[in-house]
């Protein structure tokens, strides 16, 4: 049977890596973008041969009306969704005192609300299917209180994603739905040096993708509501 995966923010970065791997594993992909249209078309071009029914969708996930339209389009074309990866999540490295209201709101909306809206749009169909996987992308330390000078609002938002993961898993487990979270350390070294990481390098996309493949495998059947840190022993604020 065809398996459909929606990966939000899959034109670039981690989302693109996840989408390419899932296409290799036989999924039909929904490639989502907001502004990066040409990059998204390129990703679709790369997977079309092995995943011919894959489609492209466009939405700003901060708006529930756009999310609803996007999922209506997905269900009209593909009928089902087996896996939703809530990968979208803005980051801003700025002092709290210098952050505008709209920047603060943008962090909360792109991380928490995008996860909430997409999950809510997909859950009724997953309940009918009596199966489904949701993977939320967090960040290392999302379970704890992190008062980092220039990124506290981002961590506040990711903690919201962590809470959503737990809540939704608890409510939906009885319908055969799995909701888990993967929390990577910094994927680029713009802020950190390789020597800041206990394993001598920052996390790579494929480290995260491998954790995702495990979580959606039959071996992870009883893992629900979990947060897996893919951080190589890195702890925020600890040298």
Ligand X SMILES: NC(=O)c1ccc[n+]([C@@H]2O[C@H](COP(=O)([O-])OP(=O)(O)OC[C@H]3O[C@@H](n4cnc5c(N)ncnc54)[C@H](OP(=O)(O)O)[C@@H]3O)[C@@H](O)[C@H]2O)c1
| Six token digits for residue 84 | 């939703």
Match 């389009």 to its residue by tokens: 73
* 61 contributes a contact to ligand X by CB under 6 A: yes
- Residue closer to ligand X by CB (options 14, 47) is 14
Size of the site for ligand X (CB under 6 A): 26
Instruction: Out of 4, 15, 27, 132, name the contact with ligand X by CB under 6 A.
Output: 15
Nearer to ligand X, 188 or 219 (CB): 188
Instruction: For the chain, give the longest Cα–Cα distance.
Output: 52
Of 58 and 129, the one with the shorter C-beta distance to ligand X is: 58
Q: Is 33 in the site for ligand X (CB under 6 A)?
A: yes
Q: Is 232 in the site for ligand X (CB under 6 A)?
A: no
Among 5, 7, 11, 30, binds ligand X (CB under 6 A): 11
The binder of ligand X chosen from 21, 51, 62, 180 (CB under 6 A): 62
Site residues, ligand X (CB under 6 A): 9, 11-15, 33-36, 60-62, 87-91, 110, 114, 137, 139, 184, 186-188
């Amino acid at each position: 049977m065809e398996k459909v995966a929606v990966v939000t923010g899959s034109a670039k970065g981690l989302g693109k890596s996840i989408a390419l791997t899932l296409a290799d594993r036989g999924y039909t992909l929904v490639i989502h973008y907001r502004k990066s249209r040409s990059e998204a078309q390129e990703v679709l071009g790369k997977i079309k041969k092995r995943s011919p029914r894959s489609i492209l969708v466009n939405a700003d996930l901060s708006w529930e009306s756009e999310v609803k339209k996007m999922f209506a389009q997905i269900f009209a074309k593909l009928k089902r969704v087996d896996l939703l990866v809530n990968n979208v999540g803005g980051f801003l490295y700025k002092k709290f005192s210098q952050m505008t209201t709209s920047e603060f709101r943008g962090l909360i909306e792109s991380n928490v609300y995008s996860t909430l809206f997409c999950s809510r749009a997909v859950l009724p169909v997953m309940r009918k299917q009596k199966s489904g996987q949701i993977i939320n992308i967090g960040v290392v330390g999302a379970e704890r209180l992190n008062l980092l000078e220039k990124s506290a609002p981002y961590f506040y938002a990711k903690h919201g994603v962590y809470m959503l993961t737990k809540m939704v898993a608890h409510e939906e487990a009885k319908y055969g739905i799995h909701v888990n979270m993967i929390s990577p350390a910094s994927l680029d070294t713009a802020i950190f040096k390789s020597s800041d990481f206990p394993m001598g390098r920052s996390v790579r996309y494929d480290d995260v993708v491998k954790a995702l493949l495990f979580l959606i495998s039959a071996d992870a059947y009883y893992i629900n509501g979990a947060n897996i840190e893919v951080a190589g022993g890195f702890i925020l604020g600890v040298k």
